[in-house]
Homo-oligomer: A and B are copies of this chain.
Amino acid sequence: MIGTPLLPEIRELIEKRNFSALQRIFQDWLPVDLAELISDLPEDEQAILFRLQPKGLATETFEYLDFDSQQNLLKALTKKHVSQILNSMSADDRTALLEELPGPVAQELLKLLSFKEFKIAKTLLAYPEESVGRLMSPDFLSVKKDWNINQVLEHIRTYGHESETLNVIYVVDDAGKLNGELFARDLLLSAPDRKVDEIIEEEKIVTLTASQDQKDALDAFKRYDRVALPVVDSNGYLIGVVTIDDMLDVAEEEETEDIQKFGGIEALEEPYMDLPILQLVKKRAVWLVVLFLGEMLTASVMAYYEGELAKAIILATFIPLIISSGGNSGSQAASLIIRSLSIGEISIRDWWAIMRREILSGLALGCILGVIGIVRVIGWAIAFGHFNTQWTYIAFTIGLSLVGIVLIGTLSGSMLPLLLKRLGLDPAVSSAPFVATLVDVTGIVIYFSVASLILGGILL
């Protein structure tokens, strides 16, 4: 079904201007598949193919195109065709396109809208980015609660064609205040002569507001297992509807932000490939420089121990091994805690239970690595035939340091996200690189302290 393997054939047909063959190919395609094919074509061929699709599907195909292809088509198609598409697009997809376009272009397009659609577009664009308002559609169907099911069915057949969803019909009073939701399920299961208010449960409406964060909407959809939720203003008047298909996209965006933050990078607003390199560098440079400045502390701490280092160069050779173990255990703990916080498995209230678990885990993990470290150092010395009692002391320095550092890593990685959340900051800021940097400095101090303790008078 999907276009890509057919691409060479189709491009040949385009070159031969064999439009009837192309039309035959496309008549059974779904708009989303046609949109994918169009997006894969060079810009000058996109418009040719777009015009060939079966009547009535143009707008739907357009809605599935990526922003680049949409912009390209807006340039290539006639003003009349563009106006037709924009006016028939669903309001939420149009908002997404308009917010992506440069200001002057968006203004030009707004002029092509009918008065009614223009008003809708202006209203939706007035809501802040990432708010529910940008996702909602004002095309919903409302009925009155004293109607019977037959009246509702008649009303739907007459006025339902433009509605964003028919899986839920909204029940409003004469003033437009939301009274209840009539689910398609209940509508279909009820006898034709039953009244709407015998079916709906007025007390149990879940609503969104237009200024709410899209993440809140996502949480509500998950919690209440809905396929659509109504949006009301501060007085309880119904102003729009959000459908679940937009929620999968919101979920994807939210997760992408979380993952990018955890990788130590500012969230990108555009796909990786579309971002100009200069901006890509900027998004990464900020955090990288901050981390670098933090990590400079390690050089200062190391300089402080230069005396010890000069006496026992061997200590220096284990530094990367030791500090990286702290960083790794910290990354593990941070990824666990950030994610559990984000999906609501744990909350700040649980900090003490989490701390107990992490102290135990950290000690266990530290002991595992510590034992491996001791075996490695002693084994190595024996293998190279220069084993003496000094090596035993060095081995235990490494082993004990590892226990301490892994414990500190685990604790920092798990407590930092909770602390950030407590301070009202985003827990995801405690990224893997951030935790690693924090633990590096502590790790060096622990290592040299243990070394002084064990090796004082022997090597140092």
- A residues sitting closer than 8 Å to B (CB atoms) are 28-30, 32, 153, 156-157, 160-161, 165-167, 184-185, 187-191, 203-204, 206, 218, 221-227, 244-245, 247-249, 251-252, 255-256, 258-260, 262-265, 268, 271-273, 277, 280-281, 284-285, 287-289, 291-293, 295-296, 298-299, 302-303, 306, 309-310, 313-314, 316-321, 323-325, 327-329, 331-332, 334-340, 343, 345-346, 350, 353-354, 357, 360-361, 364-365, 368-369, 372-373, 376, 406, 431-433, 436-437, 440, 444
List B contacts of A360 (CB < 8 A). Answer: 277, 281
Are B440's CB and A324's CB within 8 A? Answer: yes
> A252–B215 Cα gap in the complex (Å)?
13
Chain A interface, DSSP helix/strand/loop, else mixed: helix
- Check if A432 sits within 8 Å of B316, measured CB to CB: no
In contact, B433 and A331 (Cβ under 8 angstroms): yes
State whether A188 touches B335 (Cβ < 8 A).
no
Do A272 and B336 touch across chains, with their CB atoms under 8 A apart?
Answer: yes
The contact of A224 among B32, B203, B368, by CB within 8 Å, is: B32
Q: How far is the CB of A357 from chain B (nearest CB, A)?
A: 6
A259 touching B260, Cβ below 8 Å: no
Closest CB-CB distance, A84 to chain B, in whole Å?
22
B296/A321 in contact, CB under 8 A = yes
Residue pair B161, A184 in contact (C-beta under 8 Å): no
Taking CB atoms, residues of chain B closer than 8 Å to A373 are 292
**Interface residue from B222, B262, B318 paired with A249 (Cβ < 8 Å):** B222
Please give, as numbers and ranges, the residues of chain B lying within 8 Å of A361 by CB-CB distance.
277, 280-281, 284
A224 nearest CB across to chain B (Å): 6
A271 nearest CB neighbor, chain B only: B345
| Chain B residue, CB-CB nearest to A284 | B332
Which chain B residues border A190 with CB–CB below 8 Å? Answer: 157
Bound-state CA distance A366–B323 (Å) is 22
A335's partner among B248, B264, B314, B406 (CB-CB below 8 A) is B264
B-side contacts of A252, CB under 8 Å = 222, 251, 343
B188 and A157 contacting across the interface, CB-CB below 8 Å:
yes
Contacts A184-B166, A191-B157, A350-B273 given: A317-B303 contact, CB under 8 Å?
Answer: yes
- CB <8 Å contact, A320 and B339: no
**Chain B residues, Cβ within 8 Å of A184:** 166-167, 184, 188
